[in-house]
Amino acid sequence: MAVDTSPRSTTWTYVEGEWLTGNPPLIGPTSHAMWLASTVFDGARWFDGIAPDLDLHCQRVNRSAISLGLKPVKTAEEIEALAWDGLKKFDGKTPIYIKPMYWGEHGSAGSVVTVDGESTRFALCLFEAPLGNNAPNSLTVSPYRRPSPETAMTDAKAGSLYPNSGRAIAEAKSRGFDNALMRDMNGNVAETASSNVFMVKDGIVSTPIANRTFLAGITRARVIGLLRKAGFEVREVTLSVEDFMNADEIFTTGNYSKVVGINRLDGRDFQQGPVTRKAFELYMDWAFGRSESDS
């Protein structure tokens, strides 16, 4: 039986000058992206009439493209304008995931493995995706590691990085956890399999220092800035699993769900404490313009 390729929620995609509904066939078996993974993307969110940091996400997808050897064919401003145009196609009730993408169509002359940057293609996909209820998640230390810049395209939000995250999440779920706490090749905590991670100890907030083994996210930077502005000490430092096990609070940040508390790390239970709640409140107040902008 053929696999149903229709999207699982209302979806519109801009490609080559037009908006198409559903899941349009954009690559084929000879496309470089199909068999050699020359893809990058980014993800922003629209909800309740706002799209926090949409401009920064549009800028980052172009940086990711360059890092992978692709050639951006849209400016960040053009991508942002297209996103706002596409949002008009939805009913305005359900949150939307905004996903600009670049991929390579051909390999370079003399080496099919290397992408031909001149063959770069662009699409902007928007689809309905509820934000979730920010319920606390559980974590387990993953047996899998984040790659280093010498072994993978860690400076790009590249599709090729995500199977490693996927297997970490699958392994964690097989043991009854929601997500995985991942370490770098030196054994230090990097992030979870799908988001940046923070810990709180004695009122001090710490997060793994950006060492190029993970993407230091846009929401991560926003939360760091908001917490510091609110008077919290926030440190970007090298952290061990033991540091997290001894923490008072743990929370994650990411574009998909913004700020989420952690209620369990392996055998240790955690409460969703005051700093986690404050981080979420600060982010939402900033997003809806209820506080002075932190730029």
The residue with tokens 């051909």 is 106
Domain 137-288, CATH class in plain words: alpha beta
Tell the burial category of 245 from Cβ atoms under 10 Å away from its Cβ (0-12, 13-18, 19+).
middle
CA distance 126 to 103: 17
Q: For residues 171 and 273, what is the distance between their CA atoms, to the nearest angstrom? A: 28
Phi and psi at residue 257, to the nearest 5°: -125, 5
pLDDT tens, 72-81?
999 999 999 9
Q: What percentage of the chain exceeds 90 in pLDDT?
A: 94
Q: What is the DSSP letter of 248?
A: S
Angstrom distance (rounded) from CA 133 to CA 159:
27
The position carrying tokens 């496309």 is 31
Q: Provide the pLDDT for residue 151.
A: 95
- For residue 28, what are the contacts with CB-CB under 8 A and spacing of at least 6? 34
Tracing tokens 């908006």 back to the chain, one arrives at 19
- Average pLDDT estimate for 21-29: 96
Amino acid at 159: G
CATH code of the domain occupying 11-128: 3.30.470.10
Mean pLDDT over the full length of the chain: 96
Express each pLDDT in 165-188 by its tens digit.
999 999 999 999 999 999 999 999
- pLDDT digit string (tens) for 193-240? 999 999 999 999 999 999 999 999 999 999 999 999 999 999 999 999
Domain ranges of the chain: 11-128, 137-288
How far apart, in Å, are the Cα atoms of 253 and each of 15, 70, 108, 123?
30, 28, 38, 26
What region does 105 belong to: left with phi over 0, alpha with psi -120 to 50, or beta? alpha
Residue 292: pLDDT band by 50, 70, 90 thresholds? Answer: low
Mean pLDDT of 256-278: 95
pTM of the model: 0.95
Q: pLDDT at residue 86 above 70? A: yes
Q: Grade residue 92 by pLDDT with cuts at 50, 70 and 90.
A: very high
> Packing angle between helix 218-229 and helix 274-287, nearest 10 degrees?
110
pLDDT of residue 295: 46
Q: Rounded CA gap, 279 and 277, in Å? A: 5
**Dist. CA 45–CA 119, nearest whole Å:** 28
pLDDT single digits (tens) 41-62: 999 999 999 999 999 999 999 9
Cα(8)–Cα(47) distance, integer angstroms? 19
